Structures are given as structure tokens and as C-alpha cells.
Amino acid sequence: QMQNLYPLFERNRILKKELLWSLRDYSFSHVQLEYQEYGQGILQGCQIQVRGSQLAVGPGIIKYGGFICLMMEEQLIEYEPAKQTQYLKLKIDIDRRSPDYILYQIDLFLDLKGKQNDNEFEICRFNLRKGAQLRDKYKDFSDLETEYDTINVLHADWGGLRGCSISPVITRYFAELVLENENSRSDDRSFSYLSMSQTGAVPIKVLSDYCSRRIGNSPEGMTDKVRLYKSLCVIIDNLQKGKEAKARDKKERHRILVD
């Protein structure tokens, strides 16, 4: 028989040890159960903003080794130009020395090495040239992969339902462009509604199936994230070209030829 014990927070009531255990179990178990089928990585938040010479990383939720870690406050990281790509990483260390608790320590740092340890997760990468300004705003969808002076979240380690996934920054931007375009199809809009309503990353199987059905197989030899992003680029490009073609056709129908 399963029981759920809820403490009553009323005057003159004493919180017995059984009630304290209940509070402990609910606070931890709820989050663990909610994300038990998610892959490791960033689950929510960790939004990147450029503020002068600092990178601001917003609060977020990260899964590591089956445990859900909370980053409750915004973190600021100093940066400067380099002659190569820099990687903003999140590292989680586990301290089991105390008999009373297990400590999950979260640290953010910039690294010049793309290779990661098992307890490290990429948040973004960038290649900032001397004299240039780093930016976190994008001119268009293809600008998400601009090599220099631009925050790149394409390779960020996001955990999604039943596996890894791609950053919500990408899928939400894609969804906004689709919903603005009059040439979008019903399946484009359905996927966009899902992307806009997700609190975290779109499940990788949903994204893969949508791209595959929409344009077929993408070029081989790419990583999954790059391949999926390229597929989304093709879809957006086709939608925008369709709109331009429609405008040209409309102009040509009103053209009068005099012999």
C-alpha cells in the first residue's frame, strides 16, 4: 500500500521527523520523476546574453548522472578576443566526503579545447577577433552558424525527451519565421506550435521525423545537430523563395506588353 503524507502547516502543529522526511521526498522526487526520461545536459534556461566584456548565463536546470541540478542565479563570465574558438562550458563536480549530504558543485568556465569530460556540458562557442564585438542577436536563420564574432548555440548540450536535442533558441527562431511566412504548410505550422510551446528542447525524434518527411535525407558525414540545423535552413530557404516567386508572378501578371 502506497501512502502520500502531506504536512499541515498550522499554528501549534509540530513538524515531526516523518513530516520532514515527507517534505524531503516530495521536493526531490518530483523533479527527478519529471525528467527521468530525459537525456543528460541542459533541460531549461541557461540563456546567453552578451553584456559588454561579460557573458551572462541565466538560471537553468541541468541533468547529470541521473540527478537534476539547479542553477538558481545568473552567472557572469569575463571574456576577451582569442585567435581561436572559445567554448563556454558548464562543469559539475560531485563531493561525497560528508556523511550528511552529497554536494553537486556547478562551475562555468571558458575553454580553448572543444573536447569535453563526462561531467562537462557546452553552453555555447564563439570565435571573437581582436577589435570586433561579440553579439548574441542574429540577422537571419543562417546567421546562427556564423563563424566569427557571434554566439553559436548549435553544439550546446541540451537534454531532451529520450536523448539529446538541439537548443530551443534554434527551434523557436525557426518557428517564428515559419509562422510569419504565408507559404508555410500545415505540418510546418504544427511543428512550430510545438516548438513555441516547449519549455525545454524539442524531442530529437520529433525534430528528426519532421525534417526527414519535409525534405528527405540530409547530406551524410555531418553530426546530428548540424544535419538537423541544415535541414531547417533548407526548409526556411524554400519557404522564403516560394514567397519571392509568388511576388514575381503577381508582378508579371500585371505587366502589359505593347507590340
Q: What is the pLDDT of residues 193-241, one digit of tens each?
A: 999 998 899 999 999 989 988 887 654 444 589 999 999 999 999 998 8
pLDDT at 119: 94
Query: Cell numbers 545536459 correspond to what residue?
Result: 41
Residues 6+ apart with CB under 8 A from 164: 39, 40, 41, 157, 158, 204, 224
- Work out the percent of the chain whose per-residue pLDDT is above 90: 62
Residue with more model confidence, 122 or 219: 122
Summarize the confidence of residues 133-156 as an average pLDDT.
95
Distance CA 66, CA 39 (A): 9
Residue with more model confidence, 138 or 246: 138
pLDDT digits (tens, 9 = 90+) for 38-89: 999 999 999 999 999 999 999 999 999 889 999 999 999 999 999 899 999 9
User: In terms of C-beta density within 10 A (0-12 exposed, 13-18 middle, 19 or more buried), how is residue 235 classed?
Assistant: buried
End-to-end Cα distance, the chain: 92
pLDDT at 9: 66
What band does 249 get if pLDDT is binned at 50, 70 and 90? very low
What band does 11 get if pLDDT is binned at 50, 70 and 90? confident
Residue 200 in contact with residue 44, Cβ under 8 Å?
Answer: yes
214-220 LR contacts (CB < 8 Å, sep 24+): 214/187, 214/188
Summarize the confidence of residues 91-115 as an average pLDDT.
90
pLDDT at 223: 55
